[in-house]
Amino acid sequence: MALPFDYEQVTLGEFGGAKPTTTDFDKARVVILPIPLDRTTSYVPGTRLGPHEILVASSHMELWDEETETDVHGVGIYTLPELELPFGTMDEVMKEIRRVASELVTRGKFPVVLGGEHSITAPVVAAVAAKHPGLSVLQSLSTEEAAAAPSLATTIFYDFNMRQGDDWMGRVVDSLAENVYITIDCDGLDPAIMPAVGTPEPGGLNWYETMTLLRRVIQSRRVVGCDLVELCPIPGFVAPNFLCAKLLYKILSYRFGSGARV
């Protein structure tokens, strides 16, 4: 179907498979935006293939979530075609991403962005923050971000010592404003469960830690969008791709499932 705004289209599959997915953009509450960007990856390239592989894996998920006792497709999930990016400068790429993300949030959609490299997060956050002033971003950390942190309203939880003391997850939640955007860099997960990244850093969150943290944030704050970036698929090894698809589906189940906040 024709979209109600200008959009360069490359057809992919639908998140969760074609059968249960809402096909009407106007009625969908959640919109999946695949962005196959891979220009500044510093080690192993291939993040441009991440969105496609997440969508393929998602078609094999069990859609009933036993934890929330719901099939979240009932809220309406629409998958946009893969965003075709300009061949110009990174500034032009960022402007195009922000333009499309702004269209989604202006139309009241909950954006779920599939990366691609982590640079796609900045223009999406800018678009979401324009609608939700005072937005908090829950994300992973790079050297450049660490250097900038002292000048920003930022609280950092380092993997090597954040588990010391009581209830580190509660401290994470307390550091966030009411409206939150979640960006998940696959590098932040333990490479034992997520080896398919450009830089598989030792340490990181395991599956159940990640689920507990996400659930507590979503139950305590109003999450208004999310992304998952830096999946670098390994040919013939589908487990990391499936993990990413399932992780995003869990976020949606927590956010829109039974007993969730509006």
Note the pLDDT of residue 40: 62
Per-chain mean pLDDT for the chain: 86
- Residue 20, Cβ density class (10 Å: 0-12 exposed, 13-18 middle, ≥19 buried): middle
40: Cα separation from own chain's centroid: 19
Tell me how far apart the alpha carbons of residues 83 and 149 are, in angstroms, rounded to a whole number.
Answer: 31
Describe the crossing of helices 207-220 and 239-256 by its angle, rounded to 10 degrees.
20
pLDDT tens digit sequence for 79-133 = 999 998 877 889 999 999 999 999 999 999 999 999 989 899 999 999 999 999 9
Q: Which is more confidently placed, 35 or 143?
A: 35
Q: Which is more confidently placed, 140 or 172?
A: 172
CB atoms within 10 A of CB 65: 19
Tell me how far apart the alpha carbons of residues 189 and 214 are, in angstroms, rounded to a whole number.
Answer: 13
Fold of 9-256: Arginase; Chain A (3.40.800)
Contacts of 103 (CB under 8 A, 6+ apart): 5
pTM comes to 0.88
Tell me how far apart the alpha carbons of residues 174 and 169 are, in angstroms, rounded to a whole number.
Answer: 9
Note the pLDDT of residue 181: 97
CA angle (224, 229, 232) in 5-degree steps:
160
pLDDT tens digit sequence for 160-190 = 777 777 888 998 999 999 999 999 999 999 9
pLDDT tens digit sequence for 191-233 = 999 999 988 888 889 999 999 999 999 999 999 999 999 999 9
